[in-house]
Amino acid sequence: MPNPIPIPTPMPRLQLHGISKRYPGCLANDGIDLCIQPGEIHALLGENGAGKSTLMKIIYGVTHADSGDMHWQGQRVSLRNPAQARSLGIGMVFQHFSLFETLTVAQNIALAMGATAGAPQALAPKIREVAQRYGLVLEPQRLVHSLSIGERQRVEIVRCLMQDIRLLILDEPTSVLTPQEADELFVTLRRLASEGCSILFISHKLAEVRALCHSATVLRGGRVAGHCRPAECSDQQLAQLMVGDAAQWLVDYPKASGGATFLTVSGLSWANPDPFGCSLHDIDLQVRSGEVVGIAGVAGNGQDELLALLSGEQRLPRQDASRIAFADQAVADLPPDARRRLGQAFVPAERLGHAAVPELSLADNALLTAFQQGLVSHGLIQRAKVVALAETIIQRFAVKAAGAQAPARSLSGGNLQKFILGREILQQPRLLVAAHPTWGVDVGAAATIHRALITLRDAGAAILVISEDLDELLHISDRLAALCGGRLSAQQPTASTTLSEVGAWMAGQFDRPHSPAPALA
């Protein structure tokens, strides 16, 4: 349960008045008011692009507001840089960590603290003490590259706690954690808040905001859409504040059981040449036509490696070709275009720079993967057909873009993702592999993408979705598995699993009936 709600005081910890920030072509923050009391856990909710990141960068002194004032404990301040923010007692944990992998935890913290770190030998006990006080398990002498993502996040949090912290900002902290790890984080945060530290918690996951936060400010399109007490609001009400119209959002899709197996992965192992990368061990997976199989897992547990092997960017030698098969045809040694000819379509995790070329137009990006669909004749590009295809995708999937000639990078994340997914779906694939299909996408676009995937499933395609978002996987997949340390759990029908069971798989606790138990040493 959340701590008792702090009583409003005449002198709030942080108060913002009419903060506005304009970037070329967009008003990121438009007259934002925000008030955080000492000891309050305050959620900043909003879709991607609602202006959350800009606002917290302003609070942390990374960027500067065009207008508006910021009051810190009753005194007006104007922050010039993060160092000044830290000196006031503001700490921030970014979504992407800034740690040196080859240094130890203590060395990383010493680097971040600068001159205030003091003597190196005195630092390690102090780190241990701070970590223990807040229930964070952390060994100062370990090298960062050997830490899991959750542990790395603890390093960042401890780094903030080493100073006299009065406001801790966390940017989507749970997006990299298993549900269990997230619960542990919440314990730490509640303890911090009970000691009087204010916490600004940025998220778009409604359930955890309701469980953790005292109050919430919801942003939509750069403005404050409303303030509320999340414990007293339903998902529907919160979602409505975030997107305006949430009626279509909470749809339940009936689960399907599929037909004949299309994709078969059997005994797939792959040794990663990158010493910090993840190797795959003995992966078994079947995806039937007409079903969605979801693979959960925390990032860095072999997702990228599995995806590269499935797409054909990483090929196996000929003798291992049958490790991956499309309806009995061995494909593991085939390049991506050959696999596409056999009916595969693919949505990689990164939209810009992998799925789409940022500088090229949408038309050219449509051609990028659809070139085997009669768009090239005698070596020449059939420009009219390419443009027509791009326009069809834009229209069918409601992509907001200036037209087929707009460069891919000019689109917002959600719109580009709809375009990429549309491009793959219109090729009428027999197998679609989609990685993180709604990562960083707003609620409305995510709903469109889910509906498109389910429609494709119902049309008889086999679909494999690899995602870090467990809610999403429970929502759309018919069967579920989880990757941990390069091993894949067995696949279970979604209807007969629970959140905590999948959480345990994500942490590596699964029986592997298919492989012999490791010999005792």
Partner 1 sequence: MLLSLEPRGQHSRLMLWCSPLLAAALTLACGSLLFIALGHDPLLTLHTLLIAPISDGYGVSELLVKALPILLCALGLAVAYQARIWNIGAEGQLLLGALAGSAAAVHLIDWQSRWALVLVLGTGTLAGALWAGLTAWLRTRFNANEILTSIMLNYIALNLLLFCVHGPLKDPAGFNFPESAMFGEASRLPLLTAEGRVHAGVYFALLALVAVWVLLQKSFIGFQIKVLGLDKRAAAFVGFRHKRLVWLALLISGGLAGLAGVCEVSGPIGQLVPQVSPGYGYAAITVAFLGRLNPIGILFASLLMALLYLGGESAQMSMNLPPAITQLFQGMMLFFLLACDVLILYRPRLNLRWARRAPATHVQAGAL
CB 152 within 8 A of CB 143: no
Question: Concatenated DSSP letters for 427-472?
Answer: T--SEEEEESTTTT--HHHHHHHHHHHHHHHHTT-EEEEE-S-HHH
Contacts to partner 1 from residues 87-126, by CB under 8 A: 87-89
Q: What is the DSSP letter of 143?
A: B
Phi-psi category of residue 24: left, alpha or beta, with phi > 0 → left and psi -120 to 50 → alpha: beta
State the Cα angle at 456 between 442 and 204, rounded to 5°.
15
Q: Which amino acid is at 2?
A: P
- Taking CB under 8 A as the binding criterion, the range among 103-111, 186-194, 223-231, 366-374 that sits at the site for partner 1 is 366-374
CB 108 within 8 A of CB 146: no
| From candidates 25, 275, 317, 516, binder to partner 1 by CB under 8 A | 25
- Taking CB under 8 A as the binding criterion, the range among 172-180, 279-287, 356-364, 500-508 that sits at the site for partner 1 is 356-364
CB 227 within 8 A of CB 204: no
User: Can you name the residues that pair with 27 across neighbouring β-strands?
Assistant: 22
| From candidates 3, 73, 163, 272, binder to partner 1 by CB under 8 A | 73
- Taking CB under 8 A as the binding criterion, the range among 41-49, 79-87, 120-128, 198-206 that sits at the site for partner 1 is 79-87
Does the protein bind partner 1 through residue 272 (CB under 8 A)? Answer: no
Q: What is the DSSP letter of 36?
A: E
User: Who contacts 473 (Cβ-Cβ below 8 Å, separation ≥6)?
Assistant: 294, 295, 296, 465, 467, 480, 494, 502
CA distance 487 to 513: 13
Does the protein bind partner 1 through residue 368 (CB under 8 A)? Answer: yes
Residue 120: CB minimum distance to partner 1, A: 24
| From candidates 171, 172, 304, 364, binder to partner 1 by CB under 8 A | 364
User: Can you name the residues that pair with 104 across neighbouring β-strands?
Assistant: 143
Does the protein bind partner 1 through residue 397 (CB under 8 A)? Answer: no
Give the closest residue to 168 by CA, choosing from 336, 293, 343, 44. 44
Residues 335-354: x where in contact with partner 1 by CB under 8 A, - otherwise, as a string: xxxx-x-----x-x-x--xx
- Taking CB under 8 A as the binding criterion, the range among 53-61, 153-161, 361-369, 465-473 that sits at the site for partner 1 is 361-369
Residues 408-427: x where in contact with partner 1 by CB under 8 A, - otherwise, as a string: --x-----------------
| From candidates 60, 72, 94, 510, binder to partner 1 by CB under 8 A | 72
Nearer to partner 1, 10 or 513 (CB): 10
Residues 455-484: x where in contact with partner 1 by CB under 8 A, - otherwise, as a string: ------------------------------
Question: Concatenated DSSP letters for 318-376?
Answer: GGGGGGEEETTEE-TTS-HHHHHHTTEEEE-S-TBTTTB-TTSBHHHHHHHHHTTSS-E
Strand pairing class (198-203; 41-46): parallel
| From candidates 49, 51, 230, 312, binder to partner 1 by CB under 8 A | 312
| From candidates 24, 114, 273, 518, binder to partner 1 by CB under 8 A | 24
Nearer to partner 1, 92 or 506 (CB): 92
Centre a 10 Å sphere on the Cβ of residue 211 and count the other Cβ atoms it contains. 15
- Taking CB under 8 A as the binding criterion, the range among 212-220, 258-266, 268-276, 310-318 that sits at the site for partner 1 is 310-318
| From candidates 195, 359, 458, 471, binder to partner 1 by CB under 8 A | 359
Q: Which amino acid is at 387?
A: V
CA 217 to each of CA 301, 373, 444: distance values in angstroms, whole numbers, following the listed order: 34, 48, 19
| From candidates 77, 103, 231, 321, binder to partner 1 by CB under 8 A | 77
Contacts to partner 1 from residues 502-521, by CB under 8 A: none
By CB under 8 A, name the binding residues for partner 1.
24-25, 69, 72-73, 75-78, 80, 83-84, 87-89, 311-313, 335-338, 340, 346, 348, 350, 353-360, 364, 367-369, 371, 376, 379-381, 383, 407, 410
